Amino acid sequence: MSDFEHIKFEKKGAIAYIELNRPDAANGLDALMASELHQAARLCDGDAELKAVVLSAGGRFFCAGGDIKEMLSHGDAVGDAIKSLADDLHAAISLLARMQAALIVAVNGVAAGAGFSIALAGDIVLAAESASFTMAYTRAGLCPDGSSSYFLPRLVGLRRAQELMLTNRSLSAAEARELGLVTRVVSDDDLHAEAGQIAAELAASARLSTAYVKKLLLASSGNDLETQMELEGQLVSQCAASPDGREGIQAFVEKRKPDFQ
């Protein structure tokens, strides 16, 4: 257990757990939380043993967005303060999106603004039945950050992204699932158990396979067909030549469960 104030961080075997921990402030993202998320993401990215990271939140809200009261306290220096916070948040999301371990996001309650953006960055996103999603930025005279202008149009298309960002329409968990924003919807009581079960399944998988799935999907939108296929060829050959790849092939032939490292 690492010593943080506005998040909780714990590692158990091949799984790390990050929990947003400002329940009395709707888990609003302030400068300290953004900095601590960045630190936690660095710990995850630098850990060669990790295969899955579960990101969740304590209390009734997942994350109600940026801490507006903190923004107000900066007065005329608010622009510089927001840029510093965004830099930490963006560094955290970049590390979590590109790390070799899979990122599982478990959304309870409201995910608004930066909370919505953080959820979008997950490799697998679970939503409790009571969860809701809204961009909320323009309601406060702001514009999106936290990767949402990258991930949202790729997940739902440009036209729907425009609507969600400009109108701040609130989506239920079921609507978010229909739009492809979340992987599945589960009952509130089962949310954390379901996230833990998926993490356990990934912890038993081949780490390099997960890492290369993430790398291929992130690269796909910027590559032409031939460039993407060449990358596929390079990465699948590296997987096959790795100890886990050889074990996986051998186990498949022998019709047994593979024992990955």
Residues noted as catalytic: 90, 145
- For 136, 155, 204, the CA distances from 260, given in Å and listed in that order, are 43, 31, 7
DSSP string, 4-69: -SSEEEEEETTEEEEEE--GGGTT-B-HHHHHHHHHHHHHHHT-TT--EEEEEESSS-SB-SB-HH
Is 2 buried (19+), middle (13-18) or exposed (0-12) by CB count in 10 A? middle
> Which residue do the tokens 């710990």 mark?
43
Query: In the structure encoding, which two tokens stand for residue 25, read together?
Result: 């402030």
DSSP string, 60-110: S-SB-SB-HHHHHHTGGGHHHHHHHHHHHHHHHHHHHHHSSSEEEEEE-SE
Handedness of CA 246, 248, 251, 253 (dihedral sign): negative
Distance CA 64, CA 80 (A): 21
Tokens of 190: 């089962």
Phi and psi angles of residue 59, each rounded to the nearest 5 degrees, phi first: 90, -165
Q: DSSP assignment, residue 2?
A: B
